[in-house]
Amino acid sequence: MTVLEILRSTTAYFQKHNIENSRLNAEYLLANVLGRKRIDLYLQFEHELNEAELTPLRELVRRRSAGEPLQHLLGTVEFFGHSFRCDKRALVPRPETEQLVELLISRCKSEIEYARIVDVGTGSGVIALSLAAEFVNAEIIGVDISGDALMLARENAERLGLSDRVRFLKSNLLENVEGTVDLIVANLPYISTEDRQKLSREVLHDPEVALFAGARGDELVRALIAQAPSSLRPGGVLAMEIGLGQRETLVVALAEKNYRDIWSEKDYSGVTRFLFARYG
């Protein structure tokens, strides 16, 4: 079979199995097996695949159809222009979170250029490492409660040549972070345990500890709001990704703890997804 025939049949197969963006998934998996860039497939539509190429492809197609995330099958994910290793040890980084990094850079660039920053719930390290690549003078710490996630984050730091710039630390929220910081950024779990059945097969491949915060969903974000003032320097910023419909009550929680300059931002799909505030 040729590249074009494989792409057509795999796309149709994925559609039958309710895989979103079927053609794109087919292209990524085929490019991965052939060791090429996805875009190069377009120059090779007539290339005939041999059995040594078809066998691993069939296995990847089977696993993808069964709901394994594309990023796990590829082993990498693009985030903020960098390629990160991605596997079941941590959450698959989401495009919304790239927007959190973008917002920090556009809104707080001058004050975080030389800042001490902590990324709480760092997972694969995407936020901490993207900020480290952007702000060469910043001191950055990534913390997580999961040893597996921290291992992956350290591998990613190595992969990007940033191991000496970012320190990864095991910590329950800010418990083990010493001294004060200028910015706390966090994409903590914010899904309620009740919403488990609404999640897609793909999302259920993420670690539980990366998804669920408790019966309400905002428990960890609230705990961070309560804890952050003792780690933030006066005027320091708390920046968080939050869940659908959580804005109102979290704004109240911030106001009650005497944060100021509270503002929120929507993600590209129009959902209020990010919350920012200063303390002191």
Ligand X SMILES: C[S@@+](CC[C@H](N)C(=O)[O-])C[C@H]1O[C@@H](n2cnc3c(N)ncnc32)[C@H](O)[C@@H]1O
Determine whether 34 is exposed, middle or buried from the number of CB atoms within 10 Å of its CB (0-12, 13-18, 19+).
middle
Distance (Å, rounded) from C-alpha 108 to C-alpha 152? 28
| Residue 188 sits in the site that holds ligand X (CB under 6 A) | yes
Question: Looking at the chain, which runs of residues are DSSP E strands?
Answer: 76-79, 82-85, 116-120, 139-144, 166-170, 181-186, 191-192, 212-214, 232-241, 259-266, 272-279
- Smallest distance, ligand X to C-beta of residue 62, A: 27
Question: Which region, judged by CB under 6 A, interacts with ligand X, from 22-30, 54-62, 90-98, 110-118?
Answer: 90-98
Distance (Å, rounded) from C-alpha 172 to C-alpha 13? 43
Number of Cβ within a 10 Å radius of residue 164: 8
Distance (Å, rounded) from C-alpha 151 to C-alpha 157? 10
- Smallest distance, ligand X to C-beta of residue 59, A: 27
Distance (Å, rounded) from C-alpha 117 to C-alpha 177? 11
Report how many residues bind ligand X under the rule CB under 6 A: 24
| Residue 189 sits in the site that holds ligand X (CB under 6 A) | yes
| Residue 149 sits in the site that holds ligand X (CB under 6 A) | yes
Which of residues 220 and 232 has its CB atom nearest to ligand X in the complex? 220
Which of residues 95 and 235 has its CB atom nearest to ligand X in the complex? 95
| Residue 172 sits in the site that holds ligand X (CB under 6 A) | yes
Tokens of 26: 């087919």
| Residue 122 sits in the site that holds ligand X (CB under 6 A) | yes
Which of residues 18 and 83 has its CB atom nearest to ligand X in the complex? 83
| Residue 156 sits in the site that holds ligand X (CB under 6 A) | no
| Residue 169 sits in the site that holds ligand X (CB under 6 A) | no
Number of Cβ within a 10 Å radius of residue 27: 19
- Three-state secondary structure call for residue 173: coil
| Residue 144 sits in the site that holds ligand X (CB under 6 A) | yes
| Residue 220 sits in the site that holds ligand X (CB under 6 A) | yes
Identify the residue among 209, 229, 233, 264 touching ligand X (CB under 6 A).
209
**Type of residue numbered 169:** L
Which of residues 113 and 175 has its CB atom nearest to ligand X in the complex? 175
Distance (Å, rounded) from C-alpha 219 to C-alpha 192? 9
The owner of tokens 């480290």 is 132
Tokens of 271: 């959902």
Identify the residue among 146, 192, 227, 231 touching ligand X (CB under 6 A).
146
| Residue 221 sits in the site that holds ligand X (CB under 6 A) | no
Number of Cβ within a 10 Å radius of residue 187: 27
Which of residues 26 and 90 has its CB atom nearest to ligand X in the complex? 90
CB 168 within 8 A of CB 153: yes
Question: Which region, judged by CB under 6 A, interacts with ligand X, from 8-16, 65-73, 137-145, 176-184?
Answer: 137-145
| Residue 90 sits in the site that holds ligand X (CB under 6 A) | yes
Which of residues 189 and 236 has its CB atom nearest to ligand X in the complex? 189
Binding site for ligand X (CB under 6 A): 90-91, 93, 97, 120-124, 126-127, 143-146, 149, 172-173, 187-189, 209-210, 220
